[in-house]
Amino acid sequence: MSGVVPSVKPNERAASDASAPVGIFDSGLGGLSVLRAVRATLPRERLIYVADSLHAPYGERDDDFIVDRTMAIGAWLVGQGAKALVVACNTATAQSIALVRERLPIPLVGVEPGVKPAAAISATRVVGVLATAVTLRSARFQSLLERHAGDCRFICQPGHGLVQAVERCDTSSPALMALLESYLTPMLDANADTLVLGCTHYPFLDRAIRDIAGERLKIVDTSVAIARQLERLLDVHALKNSAEPSDALPRFCSTADGESQRQLAASLLQLDARVEHVDIPSRRTRLAEPHIV
């Protein structure tokens, strides 16, 4: 399946408790777009969401930092009793999925840009991709293009500044619209008819993209595919929760103060939930903050 990193290891030892929560993690608020799809597809599952907003954006970080944070947060979620993990971040998936899969004792799903579905639907054979610079330069993304681009031309644009805007809950300011327009105009001028959202923050900009591009771009967002992959994974490991769907809200955690997360969840997901502040130290963040022992 394109857009979703296959995740079942034959010898993986799954946690045995189907009523345990699923952990979902992103560098910040973008993974909430994945959480929305998971809630719609798997309403019986309990969810813990961690936003590493203190350290976002990952797209401006070095590779070792991203691996370090992904491992630390994955291990923290295992410690909280997560039965499976969704790495709801293209950038973290691109840099660290193989290592995290090897080291964590629970099954996991990662996410990558929907190159294959875009190549399948583009009529003009010109496709735009918006993603972080780290994702676009990763070997994993380059290999996706090699395998699935076919005769399509992919115009790959790093979305500098877009993650920061969403982290501030800015999805429509004039400055954001101007930035987005500067990224989309060259794609439209080149006759692109399809746009891959290669970062989980960007689905929150879909209205802004529509305002700029109208119906000229078909938008490829893989959150629903990720939710379905999670469902298959839970089935394979006999971990699907069979309890009646509850009204319980996800447990929201943030390494920052959580205020933007609360606002975005309330305004875009209609989830009025408190956000817990959590400290998740890791090798690199300890080095950056020498006063913490």
Contact residues: ligand DGL, CB under 6 A: 26-28, 30, 56-59, 89-91, 132, 135, 163, 199-201
DSSP-derived letter for residue 54 is G
Three-state secondary structure call for residue 179 = helix
Q: Considering the complex, what minimum distance in angstroms separates the CB of residue 245 from ligand DGL?
A: 27
User: From CA 261, how far away is CA 253, in angstroms rounded?
Assistant: 9
Ligand-binding site membership of 70 (annotated): no
Residue whose tokens read 């930035």:
179
Catalytic one among 152, 156, 199, 253?
199
Ligand-binding site membership of 59 (annotated): yes
Instruction: State yes or no: is 199 an active-site residue.
Output: yes
Q: Considering the complex, what minimum distance in angstroms separates the CB of residue 246 from ligand DGL?
A: 28
| Tokens at 230, concatenated | 């999670």
When the beta carbons of 89 and 227 are compared against ligand DGL, the nearer one is: 89
- Strands 4-5 and 108-111, bridge-based pairing: antiparallel
By the 10 Å C-beta count (0-12 exposed, 13-18 middle, 19+ buried), 244 is classed as exposed
When the beta carbons of 83 and 201 are compared against ligand DGL, the nearer one is: 201
When the beta carbons of 199 and 234 are compared against ligand DGL, the nearer one is: 199
Ligand-binding site membership of 138 (annotated): no
Ligand-binding site membership of 214 (annotated): no
Q: Considering the complex, what minimum distance in angstroms separates the CB of residue 97 from ligand DGL?
A: 12
Phi, psi of 150 (to 5 degrees): 55, -130
How many Cβ atoms are within 10 Å of 221's Cβ, its own excluded? 21
Tally the residues of the chain: 293
> Do residues 180 and 121 touch, judged by C-beta distance below 8 A?
no
Q: Considering the complex, what minimum distance in angstroms separates the CB of residue 139 from ligand DGL?
A: 16
Ligand-binding site membership of 241 (annotated): no
Q: Considering the complex, what minimum distance in angstroms separates the CB of residue 201 from ligand DGL?
A: 5
Catalytic one among 89, 152, 156, 253?
89
Q: Considering the complex, what minimum distance in angstroms separates the CB of residue 55 from ligand DGL?
A: 8
When the beta carbons of 36 and 237 are compared against ligand DGL, the nearer one is: 36
How many angstroms separate the most distant Cα atoms in the chain?
A: 57
Q: Distance of alpha carbon 234 from its chain centroid, rounded?
A: 19
How many Cβ atoms are within 10 Å of 24's Cβ, its own excluded? 27
Q: Distance of alpha carbon 261 from its chain centroid, rounded?
A: 15
When the beta carbons of 88 and 234 are compared against ligand DGL, the nearer one is: 88
Closest CA to 52 of 202, 252, 256: 256
User: From CA 265, how far away is CA 43, in angstroms rounded?
Assistant: 17
When the beta carbons of 58 and 183 are compared against ligand DGL, the nearer one is: 58
User: From CA 233, how far away is CA 39, in angstroms rounded?
Assistant: 16
Residues annotated as catalytic (active site), given as ranges? 89, 199
Residues of the binding site for substrate: 26-27, 58-59, 90-91, 200-201
Residues of the binding site: 26-27, 58-59, 90-91, 200-201
